[in-house]
């Protein structure tokens, strides 16, 4: 049985057990427990349903929607609350298509793919995440920020794809320097990855995970 189905069953059992031991529990507490269990189930289903999306509908994502994703992102746990990140959102087709033209010249084979529209897996919005390397936990913190964004997006019916290669291209390829500059990153920050965001035009199946990599230690 899939791990997440077991977790959902466990939540159900926890709910029954709470109900059994609730002779003195008020109706309000019982209702609140049920809400907690339901919320838990929804959160777990959301986590398990998220997949990297690489095809998007043509229409844009509203900035209010993206703003909410960013709020979720910056509320991620981070070492000593240093918030060692700089986050930039680009939804301007001129930027996206402009840097894609540079990418196409350097990667003609990838650009020849009939499904290729832009170098961000065809997404209309891209969230760039840069870290402050002077903070020792900055890469971890930036990763947690990104997962918050991607899970919030999933909950709102949006698709996402974390992209290391697109960020590396903009960070390292001299021909793309103008686009790195446009991101207006603070001194010393390094572009770590970006997140493609858009309304999904595909529903990829889950890729297999290796459960043997995790274990309890007695
Ligand atoms: C740090 C990082 C970098 C990634 N870079 C790319 C990338 O450059 N291109 C891409 O298509 N997917 C990229 N991905 C997405 C992974 O391929 C994907 O998360 C993985 O295959 C698992 O699939 P899932 O997200 O659908 O569960 C990246 C993911 C992470 C976490």
Mean pLDDT of 45-74: 97
b/e per residue 194-215 (b: at least 16 CB within 10 A): bbbbbbbeeeeeeeeeeeeeee
User: Is there a single domain that holds both residue 7 and residue 32?
Assistant: yes
Rounded Cα distance, 147 and 116, in Å:
25
pLDDT at residue 36 in the model: 81
Mean pLDDT of 51-72: 97
Flag whether 55 is in a domain.
no
C-alpha distances in Å from residue 98, one per residue of 87, 93, 117, 196, 200: 20, 8, 12, 16, 23
Flag whether 10 is in a domain.
yes
Quick: pLDDT tens for 107-144: 999 999 999 999 999 999 999 999 999 999 999 999 99
Question: Which atom of ligand 1 approaches the CA of 54 most closely?
Answer: 11
Rounded Cα distance, 200 and 86, in Å:
26
User: Is there a single domain that holds both residue 25 and residue 74?
Assistant: no
User: Is there a single domain that holds both residue 72 and residue 19?
Assistant: no
Flag whether 211 is in a domain.
no
Identify which has the larger pLDDT, 16 or 74. Answer: 74
Flag whether 188 is in a domain.
yes
Identify which has the larger pLDDT, 197 or 33. Answer: 197
The CA 180 to ligand 1 mean position distance, Å, reads 22
The CA 40 to ligand 1 mean position distance, Å, reads 26
User: Is there a single domain that holds both residue 179 and residue 115?
Assistant: yes
User: Is there a single domain that holds both residue 37 and residue 118?
Assistant: no
Number of domains in the chain: 2
User: Is there a single domain that holds both residue 120 and residue 77?
Assistant: yes
The conformation of residue 196, written as its DSSP 8-state character, comes to E
**Tokens linked to 47:** 């986590």
User: Is there a single domain that holds both residue 80 and residue 127?
Assistant: yes
User: Is there a single domain that holds both residue 69 and residue 146?
Assistant: yes
Quick: pLDDT tens for 4-41: 555 445 555 444 444 433 444 566 666 677 778 788 99
Q: Which domain holds residue 170?
A: 63-198
Quick: pLDDT tens for 76-90: 999 999 999 999 999
User: Is there a single domain that holds both residue 146 and residue 187?
Assistant: yes
Indicate which CATH number applies to the domain containing 193.
3.40.109.10
Flag whether 129 is in a domain.
yes
Ligand 1 pocket residues where CB is under 6 Å = 51-52, 54, 121, 161-165, 193, 204, 207
The CA 179 to ligand 1 mean position distance, Å, reads 22
User: Is there a single domain that holds both residue 14 and residue 97?
Assistant: no
User: Is there a single domain that holds both residue 75 and residue 104?
Assistant: yes
User: Is there a single domain that holds both residue 166 and residue 84?
Assistant: yes
Quick: pLDDT tens for 147-157: 999 999 999 99
Flag whether 13 is in a domain.
yes
């Amino acid at each position: 049985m899939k791990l997440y189905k077991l977790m959902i069953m466990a939540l159900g059992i926890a709910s029954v057990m709470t109900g059994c031991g609730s002779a003195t529990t008020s109706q309000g507490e019982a209702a609140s427990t049920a809400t907690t269990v339901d919320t838990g189930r929804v959160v777990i289903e959301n986590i398990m349903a998220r997949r990297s999306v690489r095809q998007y509908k043509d229409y844009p994502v509203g900035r209010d929607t993206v703003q909410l994703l960013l709020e979720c992102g910056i509320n991620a746990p981070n070492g000593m609350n240093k918030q060692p990140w700089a986050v930039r959102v680009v939804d301007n087709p001129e930027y996206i298509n402009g840097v894609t033209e540079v990418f196409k010249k350097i990667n003609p084979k990838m650009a020849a793919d009939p499904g290729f529209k832009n170098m961000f897996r065809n997404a209309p919005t891209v969230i760039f995440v840069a870290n402050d390397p002077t903070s020792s936990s900055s890469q971890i913190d930036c990763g947690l920020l990104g997962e918050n964004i991607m899970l919030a997006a999933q909950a709102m019916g949006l698709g996402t794809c974390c992209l290391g290669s697109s960020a590396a291209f903009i960070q390292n390829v001299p021909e793309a320097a103008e686009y790195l500059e446009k991101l207006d990153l603070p001194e010393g920050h390094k572009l770590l990855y970006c997140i493609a965001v858009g309304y999904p035009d595909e529903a990829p199946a889950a890729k297999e995970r290796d459960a043997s990599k995790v274990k309890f230690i007695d």
